Amino acid sequence: MPPVFGHVGTYRPGDTFHNRIELAFSGVHRPRRAGVCGTRALVAESIVLAGQYEDDEFGEPEIRYSGNGGRDPKTGRQVTGQLAVGTNLALLKSQETGRPVRVPGKVPGEYGPDVYRYEGLCRVVEARFGPGKSGYNVLSFASGRFCS
């Protein structure tokens, strides 16, 4: 499937998906495990707000999303610093170009397990590199809440 920037098909904010596989098949966020979909050449298409990194902050009026890398998958804690490579470069390129990024987020299901809700589009407006909660250098990306 070629990259799509902006909304995909008829999916709009508020639409829900039962799991990451359904989310991937929809095209709203294509990777089944990775939190960022994109390449440094093409910028980021989407990010998933799943709270996997200890330095993530998902609130009003902004999202602060940690870059990829250095996280222990068992504890969720940062165990090494991050580098400006791979999808971290895609997020930096998104800031540079101003292209919108799709944002689904993990939320409690209405009648059971967590689901993924499409929150909408945002723009990366800031990138920082510095010590995170565990003392390791972390790339951190901020966006204004949602632009549509």
Q: What is the pLDDT of residues 55-107, one digit of tens each?
A: 998 887 788 999 999 999 888 899 999 999 999 999 999 999 999 999 999 99
| Number of domains observed in the structure of the chain | 1
**143's tokens:** 């966006």
Instruction: Return the CATH number at 80.
Output: 2.30.280.10
> Residue 24 falls within a domain, yes or no?
yes
d(CA 127, CA 57): 14
> Residue 9 falls within a domain, yes or no?
no
Mean pLDDT of 30-36: 93
* Residue 113 near residue 58, CB atoms below 8 Å: no
> Residue 10 falls within a domain, yes or no?
no
pTM of the model: 0.90
Mean pLDDT of 11-19: 96
For residue 126, count other CB atoms closer than 10 A to its CB.
12
Domain of residue 77 covers 16-144
